[in-house]
Structure 1
Amino acid sequence: MTKNEFICPLCQQSNYCAINAVEPCWCTTKKIPAALIAQVPANKKNKSCICANCVDKFNRLAQRIS
């Protein structure tokens, strides 16, 4: 993985990706909403993981709206 693959494309913080680790990465068990993925800039799509903080923040905001 390159350095940029460890940076969330939305908040620019570490995404703590461990997809290549022995233990499964947190992202393999967490649902990432399509509406959140759609917010990733085109030039960063499919290049790094969205971090858990951004996923959780999006889900909290979505719950308040609904």
Structure 2
Amino acid sequence: MSESYPSQAKSTAAKASQVNVLLCPLCGEANGCSYAAGRPHSECWCNHAEFPEGVFDRIPAEQRRKSCICQRCLESYTDQAEHKQEPHS
């Protein structure tokens, strides 16, 4: 009798379906998403935030567009991006 193992695609799909929309996909902490918590999107902190190019590239592909990043991860990315752009004296 042979054992069958799930394919890589099925495994990836299972992980993606287990995404908790209330957690940041980068740090795993609460993301503060009002919409995911059942409140109007207009109440969300992200409506007043700027998301620099590249910030979402850090999210694993199977988790993109499944849950929001948190404000702390956004601020951390923004700080790192600003330090890279500052000229060295």
Whether TM-score is above 0.5 comes out as yes
Structure 2 Cα separation of the partners of residues 60 and 33 of structure 1: 11
Question: Aligned pair count?
Answer: 65
Counterpart code for 1:34: E
Structure 2 segments unaligned to the other structure (5+ residues): 1-18
Query: Residue 13 in 1 paired to residue 29 in 2?
Result: yes
* Greater radius of gyration (CA): 2
Higher RCO (CA-CA < 8 Å; seq separation 6+): 1
TM-score by length of 2: 0.65
Post-superposition offset of 1:63 = 1.0
SS for the counterpart of 1:14 is: coil
Percent identity, aligned pairs only, is 31
CA shift digits 1:7-65 (9 cap, x unpaired):
10011111011024245200112112230101110110111000000000011111111
